[in-house]
Amino acid sequence: MKKIPAATAEDLLRPVWIRAVLTVAFAVLAIFWQNESLALLKYSLAAFFVLGASAVWDYVKSSVVPEKLRANLALGAALWGVSGIAAIFAPSTAAAAIIAAVGFFGMGVAELVGGLRVRAEFTPARDQVLLGGLGIVTGIGLGVGVSLDPHGVLGIAGTGVIVMAVLLLISAAGLTHDARKSAS
């Protein structure tokens, strides 16, 4: 397995940790919160998408991220931002599920395509490939589960996000390890 250069790891460390912690928080809320309501669904999706878009944007701004990946991730971050704002105004659970499906699926495609385009020259892109696949599957699940209640929609989103959270935590820990090598 190729190691990530220490300078690259240092640059990516903060945005990956932020996204990991945010993803864990949403997963915990989605999986363990009882008595979900449309309001909780809308505002938790909005917070996840808008804050997640901010973390992805911080990642995109790093000069170590290849241009081919930047374009895809910037598009995905923009879609998440729009999805977050749209979620606030969702008039029903079905509308919120559709908005979430579009957000997860769109970001998934952006990460998968961007990661595949640069995986040979940019080792961290393997995370985008995996996150992209998970986003696509989560988006499809939400599209299929559009008729569910808020508990069901959060359950589908939470299931996908908990796997993403584990992947992001592993990635963040690996970046931390690789960044510390430069200090020693």
Structure token digits, residue 14? 């903060």
Residue 2 confidence (pLDDT): 67
Banded model confidence at residue 5, pLDDT cuts 50, 70, 90: confident
Mean pLDDT of 154-160: 95
**Predicted confidence (pLDDT) per residue in 37-95, tens digit:** 999 999 999 999 999 999 999 999 999 999 999 999 999 999 999 999 999 999 999 99
Mean pLDDT of 126-152: 96
Positive or negative torsion for Cα 15, 100, 128, 162: positive
Mean pLDDT of 104-133: 96
Residue 169 confidence (pLDDT): 97
In the predicted structure, residue 137 carries a pLDDT above the cut 80: yes
Residue 122 confidence (pLDDT): 93
> Rounded mean pLDDT of the chain?
94
Query: pTM of this prediction?
Result: 0.94
Q: Are 137 and 160 in contact (CB under 8 A)?
A: yes
Mean pLDDT of 133-140: 98
DSSP string, the chain: -PPPPHHHHHHHHHHHHHHHHHHHHHHHHHHH--S--HHHHHHHHHHHHHHHHHHHHHHHT-TTS-HHHHHHHHHHHHHHHHHHHHHHT--SHHHHHHHHHHHHHHHHHHHHHHHHHHTTT-TTHHHHHHHHHHHHHHHHHHHHTTTS-HHHHHHHHHHHHHHHHHHHHHHHHHHHHHHHHHH-
What percent of the chain is modeled with pLDDT above 70? 97
In the predicted structure, residue 182 carries a pLDDT above the cut 80: no
DSSP string, 83-127: HHHHHHT--SHHHHHHHHHHHHHHHHHHHHHHHHHHTTT-TTHHH
